[in-house]
Amino acid sequence: MSEVLLSLQLIELDKMSLHEEHEPSRLERVSQSMREDGFLRHPILATEMRDGRYLVLDGAHRIGALRLLGYCKVPVQVARQDDFSIEAWHHLVPADAGVQQLFEDPSLHWTAGSGAAAQRQGWLEIVDEHGNVRALDCGVRHDFLEAWHKVVSAYNARGAVKRVPARTCLLPDSGMLLIRFKPLSYAELERVMEAGRVLPAGVTRFQINGRLLNLKIPLHLLHRDSDVSEWERLRHVWRRSLRLYTEQVYLCEI
């Protein structure tokens, strides 16, 4: 079980690349919590790309908080590409959260449907409480990434977004809309990164077995001139303290 700690590394913050934007209010909350705690509870999850940079799979706001707080290093659990799968977060937003105006935007092309159409998977779909679907048409000439940013920014500005895993919500509650995104492959995601672009906040969701959690890594170890021997000592402490739980659990994330 302790072999998983071999994937835990201290990496220069400048080598970390984010694939999505951040949510300003969430970044402020994470920064404040980190400042008060004095430690980073969970290591960042990342995978090494072809150019030697590390693509952040989970932890964009923690990376942003570390930058704001002036740290130079980041604890990373490095995953191989065959260690994880990529899914999509879906977004639940109030029906009046600026979405309706998107249907009148001439730069966005929508098709409408209901019933069976609610089960298809386009680049992006908006579903109302009755199962009516508006699907974003991103053909060869249409930039899906630009369209995604336009849609997400319309309701993110209102600050009323709830992320839900794909397939856990088929219809939204009354007065709500469900925004469904197409999951990207790793190759598609890497092409976005190589083009110097990013996805909207909270769209991609990475599933990995064997996450390292609750290490409570002291922030003073993340300075440029930090004591490497203390990092190694903590690795021995974590090795003795790891517990692997295989049963299903229900976690209340209030």
- 253 within a domain of the structure (yes/no): no
Position 174 scores a pLDDT of 94
In total, the chain counts a number of residues equal to 254
Q: Which residues of 99-121 are buried (b: 16+ CB within 10 A; e: fewer)?
A: beebeeeeebebeeeeeebbeee
93 and 163 inside one domain: yes
52 and 70 inside one domain: yes
Burial status of residue 127 (CB atoms within 10 A of its CB: 0-12, 13-18, 19 or more): buried
CA–centroid distance for 78 within its chain: 16
97 and 51 inside one domain: no
Which pLDDT band holds residue 116 (cuts at 50, 70, 90)?
very low
- Catalytically annotated residue among 3, 20, 87, 146: 20
Position 195 scores a pLDDT of 87
- 142 within a domain of the structure (yes/no): yes
129 and 173 inside one domain: yes
Residue 127, φ and ψ in degrees, nearest 5: -115, 130
Higher pLDDT, 37 or 1: 37
152 and 80 inside one domain: no
Domain count, the chain: 2
Nearest to 224 by CA among 9, 59, 12, 45: 12
- Residue 20 is a catalytic residue: yes
Q: Does position 118 have pLDDT exceeding 50, yes or no?
A: no
Q: In sequence order, which residues have a C-beta less than 8 Å from that of residue 230 and are 6 or more positions away?
A: 221
Q: With a threshold of 0.75, does the pTM exceed it?
A: yes
Return contacts of 100-103, CB within 8 angstroms, 24+ apart: 101/154, 102/150, 102/151, 102/154, 103/134
Q: Which domain holds residue 141?
A: 89-183
106 and 62 inside one domain: no
Which pLDDT band holds residue 119 (cuts at 50, 70, 90)?
very low
